[in-house]
Amino acid sequence: VPVLAVIGRPNVGKSTLVNRILGRREAVVEDIPGVTRDRVSYDAVWNGRAFTVVDTGGWDPDARGMAERIAAQAEIAIGLADATLFVVDATVGITDADEAVVKILRKSGKPVILAANKVDDERAEAEAYGLWNLGLGEPFPVSALHGRGSGDLLDAVLKALPEPPPEREQELGGPRRIAIVGRPNVGKSSLLNKLAGEERVVVDNVAGTTVDPVDELVDLGGRTWRFIDTAGIRKRVKEASGHEYYAWLRTSTAIERAELCVLVLDSSQSIAEQDMRILQEVREAGKALVIAFNKWDLVDDERRYYLDREIERDLVQVQWAPRVNITARTGWHIDRLVPALDKALEGWETRVSTGALNAFLGRIVAEHPHPVRSGKQPKILFGTQAQTSPPTFVLFTSGKLDQGYERFVERRLREEFGFAGTPIVLNVRPRE
């Protein structure tokens, strides 16, 4: 899916515009300078075409070294994206802070769509025309708040984004897209180096697909795999130094683009908040998951004891994920990764026929009916698997199901049909 980065100074109405594009209220985030937000990328659809919107957040106009910071942000965003939506406040015009970004945008050679925001009525449109001077092409006057002009803007966005490859081609598979994720120093780059060895190929331009200079094609187990955003892993780019936000932006975008994520953990250390946050993101994005317990050479009996407890406590939600214990530094057990990847992808793409699903639902409901709630007993009337990747089930019921019962259904689905390595989405539709 092509990626659109949205950049602009605080208060130009970036978040409002992102919400316009998404057609929902979900992404409402204030432009609080310097704030690290949990989610930065969102799925959008316009005219039947899907793309990912990366909201790059605000920068701090009062911070020292602002120009560099803005430039760094813009560079990263532009580097990650297929096209950039540059948002300017038409009532304010261009500021010095914008100029640095404009330079980078011009230099990048990637498509730029220039949005002149806060053009709330026709009279204000004249203000937008001054922006022709930027040399970024036609400014699109919009009112993110009222929606004025947003249709034309989105048409322009679609035109700037690369056409997705025809569906058949995707089905027949290009290389599988894998993201190696994890917090700093867990051994991601060591793992990548061992996997890729000397034979790595840096992908700089695959015709007809997303142009992305940061993926690598790697041969493993006789097949080619595409590792996403390896530049972010190999080079500790500026962003990593002190600025967690940029690291998170990269991680989040990589997860979004991947089919499967390998979460690398440092087994010698306690499972941390940040590990859990990445896990959460992978689950929410609905990607296949393999967990690699790295630095296994440092695990002694005592650490093993505590690690088992931590796994029980922190990883219950992802009990289904295949796990491999590895030592990236020496390559020990690295060969176990490919079977785990295969297993996870298989689960991710498993499809259960409607017949088999309903026979199964009938059986488990008979075995273990829903508890009675205020005199009523919700029943599952019919179910169907609406999607794979990740497996998504729609259950039509006679009433709302308890959380506990939904978990029971999910657990039994896994016991019956496998689904290793994948989140399962249950979409319950109570008939009122």
Distance CA 127, CA 157 (A): 22
Site string for ligand GDP, 28-67 (x = CB under 6 A): ----------------------------------------
Name which of 251 and 350 has its Cβ closer to ligand GDP: 251
Instruction: Supply the minimum distance, in Å, between the C-beta of residue 184 and ligand GDP.
Output: 5
Annotated binding residue at 252? no
Given the complex with ligand GDP, which of 336 and 400 has the nearer CB atom? 336
> Smallest distance from the beta carbon of 315 to ligand GDP, in angstroms?
19
Residue 185 in marked binding region? yes
Annotation-wise, does 91 bind a ligand? no
Provide, rounded to whole angstroms, the least separation between the CB of residue 3 and ligand GDP. Answer: 23
Question: Nearest approach, Cβ of 332 to ligand GDP (angstroms)?
Answer: 8
**What distance in Å separates the CA atoms of residue 276 and residue 281, rounded to the nearest whole number?**
9
Q: Is 328 in the site for ligand GDP (CB under 6 A)?
A: yes
Check the annotation: does 278 bind a ligand: no
Using CB under 6 A, which of 32, 126, 202, 298 touches ligand GDP? 298
**Closest CB to ligand GDP among residues 7, 291:** 291
H-type helices in 86-149, by residue range? 96-108, 125-129
Phi, psi at 269, each rounded to 5°: -120, 160
The DSSP symbol for 369 reads P
Binders of ligand GDP among 189-208, rule CB under 6 A? Answer: 189-190
188 binds ligand GDP (CB under 6 A): yes
Q: Which is nearer to ligand GDP, 332 or 417 (CB)?
A: 332
Considering CB under 6 A, how many residues would be counted as binding ligand GDP? 16
Of 18-26, 292-300, 303-311, 365-373: span binding ligand GDP (CB under 6 A): 292-300
SS3 at position 281: helix
DSSP H or E run through 425: strand 425-430
Helix 244-257 and helix 273-285: axis angle, to 10°? Answer: 30
Per-residue x/- marks for ligand GDP, 220-239, CB under 6 A? Answer: -------------x------
CB of 48 to ligand GDP, least distance (A): 39
Q: How far apart (Å, rounded) are the C-alpha atoms in residues 39 and 91? A: 29
Q: Nearest approach, Cβ of 264 to ligand GDP (angstroms)?
A: 6
Q: Peptide bond before 33: cis, by omega within 30 degrees of 0?
A: no
Using the rule CB under 6 A, which residue among 15, 52, 210, 327 binds ligand GDP? 327
Residue 294 interacts with ligand GDP (CB under 6 A)?
Answer: yes
Which lies closer to ligand GDP via its Cβ, residue 57 or residue 182? 182
Check whether 229 is labelled as a binding-site residue: yes
Question: Which of 223, 137, 226 is CA-nearest to residue 179?
Answer: 226
The three-state secondary structure class of 223 is: strand
Let me know if 22 is exposed, middle or buried by CB neighbors in 10 A (0-12, 13-18, 19+).
Answer: middle
- In eight-state DSSP terms, residue 376 is B
Select from 57, 28, 59, 21 the least CA-distant residue to 40.
Answer: 57
- Of 92-100, 103-111, 126-134, 325-333, the segment contacting ligand GDP by CB under 6 A is 325-333
Q: Is 376 annotated as a binding residue?
A: no
Q: Given 3-state DSSP classes, what are the helix, strand and coil percentages for the chain, each rounded to the nearest 5?
A: 40, 20, 40
Structure tokens of 48? Answer: 């039947």
Sheet holding 392-397, edge to edge: 380-387, 392-397, 425-430
Distance CA 23, CA 19 (A): 6
Which positions lie near ligand GDP, rule CB under 6 A?
Answer: 182, 184-190, 233, 294-295, 297-298, 327-329
